[in-house]
Amino acid sequence: MARTESQRQLLAAYKQRPIVGGVCAIRCPAAGRTLLLAAPNPEGQRNRFAFSVSTGACVHAALARDWRVFGPDSFTFEVLETLERGPGQTDAAFRADLETLRDIWRDKLTAEGAALYH
């Protein structure tokens, strides 16, 4: 099927959009613990979290025990920091940068006395 001009323009705009990753935190205040995620797509992670809360199904194995004990409504989701992918940056390099950013947040939260899921 041939693409129309408007479809081509939409596709070009989609490919040129900025790609933003980030570090996300899923917190369980009842347990006093936090899970840190290096996320190439933080909004996708937010949607995944919201879906898991709405269905009651835990999607992160590290959270499973507390998910059962305290329930899905005891968890919160937060994007701690975002990072825009550089022009020409490979997926692997972007992922490595996100993991480094997550490690920085891990060190910061640990220094503040936060307990983290592993």
For residue 29, give both structure tokens.
């205040």
Task: Please give the Cα distance from 41 to 96 (Å, whole number).
Answer: 14
Residue 105 lies in a domain: yes
Average pLDDT score over residue span 77-99? 97
Q: Cα separations (Å) of 66 from 24, 29, 38, 60, 113?
A: 18, 10, 21, 11, 19
Residue 70 pLDDT > 80, yes or no?
Answer: yes
Residue 80, domain extent = 19-116
- The pLDDT of residue 101 is above 80: yes
pLDDT score for 8: 84
Copy the structure tokens of residue 76.
């919160």
Question: Over the range 59-74, which residues count as b (16 or more CB within 10 Å of their CB) and which as e?
Answer: eeeebeebbeeeebee
Can you give the pLDDT at residue 30? 97
Give CA–CA dist 45/36, Å, rounded: 11
Report whether 20 contacts 40 (CB < 8 A): no
Domain contains 95: yes
| CATH at residue 55 | 3.40.1440.10
Q: What is the pTM of this model?
A: 0.86
- Number of independent structural domains in the chain: 1
**Is 54 inside a domain boundary?**
yes
